[in-house]
Structure 1
Amino acid sequence: MIARIVLALMMAAGTPAFAAEPAAQPPNRFAATLVPAERFEVGAMQVERHGKRGRPLILIPGLASGSWVWQSTARQFLGDYTVYIVTLPGFDGRAPAPGKQMEAAQRALTQLIETRKLVKPVLVGHSLGGVLALSLASQLPERIAGVVSIDGLPVFPGSEDLPPHQREQMAQSLARRMAPADQRAFAAQQQDYMRGTGVLDMARADELAKLSARSDPGAVLQYMAETFAMDLRSQLPRISAPVLLIAPYFEPDASQHELTEDTKKTYYASLIAAAPKVQVVTVSPARHFAMFDQPERVNDAIRTFLDAL
């Protein structure tokens, strides 16, 4: 979840930059390889369409992520659904949008639905993408059929009792403290995060870090600050669609905070309780990128949710 990202990046702020790598690098085994039926732009956001029949699914990656996050999920569902994978401005080699990043991303997602005349799409978001999905569903309650959020919550975990002005101040302070010196330092932060919080397998973590390091460091910090400053709990009652919140759980990590699988599920449920139709499920053992640690369990949970709509 986003709280882990902040903690991991704070710890990594003093990490030495990577040594120069050899010029020739083998292909990244987690890079996007699924060829879309169509690729197009919506504002500063890139969209890849897979499949051409069934209800639309809009897959929204999280912080510093691109379409490579959703390869397994897209393969699972493109036969029965029309899958749209978006890459947000500032991520995976794309230039940031001017102004506030979260607002620009939300405008682009709304434009995608409107210009493509998508009827009752389901929003599937990871982390920050889940936050965007919840926000969009609250603003377009009659247009959205369902929301799946993987480790993305309506309020920054641990900050739920902060007043708005203090939340904003802390957001700006965190962004300043975590600003990397250069792109190499940012890459080191990404490796540290992926190894400490992102996924269970260290070799996989290193490969994923190379992909997330393709994002713009300034945009990543701006997204983080804007997300930390948000509190969507008052907007949740407006969501008319069913919501599925998937909570990853890894006991060695959670035990440091005295969290069992049940207590983590209960805590997540308390933060999203204002949504009228919400279900919380846990996936274990998995870290923040649960779709890599437990792809079958995540896809099964999404499939069960979609079948019930």
Structure 2
Amino acid sequence: MNTRTKLATVLASLLALAASGAPSVQAKTAIATPSAALHVQQHGDSGRPVILVPGLGGGAWVWAGLLPHLQADHRVYVVTLPGFDGTVAPAGGNFTQQAEDALVDLIRTRHLAKPVLVGHSLGGTLSLKLASDHPELVGGVVAVDGLPVFPGTENMTAAQRPAMAAAMQARMQGLTPAQFEAQQVGFMQAMGVIDPKQAERYGKRNAASDPKAVAQYMAEDLTLDFRDALAHASVPLLEISPYNAPDYASGAMAMSEQQKADYYRSLLAKAPQLKVVSIAPARHFVMFDQPEKLEAALDDFMARLPPPTTER
């Protein structure tokens, strides 16, 4: 079994269940979408704008630990996608496109000059896609364990993806609330965070999101593959690859930290300005396991960016 195949098993589970937990924070404003609202908080009123986008099922609370560090020197906008953390879910289909459109509206209506998008998991995927579709709007992207294609599906054809996504969505939508909560707790214990004392609390918080919305976003994520479009993302990109050695020590999943980082690099190979940084020991929620290392990686990335021009 090669490195990519081994990674597919763990990362498919990781990204399928990704969500997080921390104290809830109420949104201050909302950006309208066709059927719901992108909830937005603003912190700070000077410095380069930064947009923080949580992952699948996450809310603004995902970034509670990182926020004080960033807002000291940046104007920070923290968003919650519709359907997550108790917010109203979108209607219709294509939730991910609605979310991307809402992020574009946020940038344009607030006249943000080359903001840096920092996204976790699904939020990282959305940030990478926005940079591919609208490189003129952003100054850079930091994807924390978010990728342009669902790991392990990179060799599937476009025709194969819908059936796989529909089957996954049907399984998730069939869960009772108790089963959904148990699923989230199980993920957090196995792959979300290292500290077992926090896993149950985080997992229960994950279950505050709408299960059907989580399933819909996840199904759409499974159908995405915009690796080629990354060639248009003509801005600096930073991918954070978490690694926790015990999780990869033996068996089918055995691999080195370098092998995992190289796999991520291969999925982002078309990006013109790419840097991959491994952070260890950390699981999917790097901001919880290694906040100081993540802060250092962000600081280094943003210090190297060209200064933004005038507000748009």
TM over 0.5: yes
What is the 5 A alignment of 1:212-231?
A: 212-231=206-225
Aligned to 1:241: 235
The 8 Å contact of residues 248 and 285 in structure 1, kept in 2 or not, is answered as: yes
Note the aligned Cα RMSD (angstroms). Answer: 2.0
Post-superposition shift, 1:258? 2.0
State the alpha-carbon separation in 2 of the partners of residues 289 and 91 from structure 1.
17
Aligned to 2:175: 181
Equivalenced residue count is: 289
Aligned to 1:281: 277
The 8 Å contact of residues 2 and 152 in structure 1, kept in 2 or not, is answered as: no
Aligned to 1:26: none
Aligned to 1:31: 23
The 8 Å contact of residues 14 and 192 in structure 2, kept in 1 or not, is answered as: no
1:42 paired residue among 23, 27, 31: 31
Structure 1 spans left out of the alignment, 5+ residues: 12-28
Identity %: 45
Residue 263 of structure 2 is aligned to residue 267 of structure 1: yes
Aligned to 1:201: 195
State the alpha-carbon separation in 1 of the partners of residues 152 and 197 from structure 2.
30
Residue 306 of structure 2 is aligned to residue 300 of structure 1: no
State the alpha-carbon separation in 1 of the partners of residues 142 and 219 from structure 2.
23
Indicate the SS of the match to 2:67: helix
The 8 Å contact of residues 149 and 267 in structure 2, kept in 1 or not, is answered as: yes
Q: Which residue identity does 2:241 align to in structure 1?
A: A
Residue 61 of structure 2 is aligned to residue 52 of structure 1: no
CA shift in 2, pair 1:188/1:166, >3 Å: same
The 8 Å contact of residues 55 and 119 in structure 2, kept in 1 or not, is answered as: yes
1:92 paired residue among 74, 85, 93: 85
Q: Deviations over 1:197-220 (max 9, x none)?
A: 100011111111122111000000
What is the 5 A alignment of 1:20-169?
A: 30-32=22-24, 39-43=28-32, 44-99=37-92, 100-169=94-163
Q: Deviations over 1:40-64 (max 9, x none)?
A: 0002110000000011000000001
CA shift in 2, pair 1:56/1:9, >3 Å: closer
Post-superposition shift, 1:179? 2.9
- Under a length normalisation based on structure 2, what TM-score does the superposition of the two structures give? 0.88
Q: Deviations over 1:15-55 (max 9, x none)?
A: xxxxxxxxxxxxxx93146x8xx810002110000000011
Q: Deviations over 1:209-235 (max 9, x none)?
A: 122111000000111110010001011
CA shift in 2, pair 1:211/1:251, >3 Å: same
Structure 2 spans left out of the alignment, 5+ residues: 1-6, 306-312
- Under a length normalisation based on structure 1, what TM-score does the superposition of the two structures give? 0.89
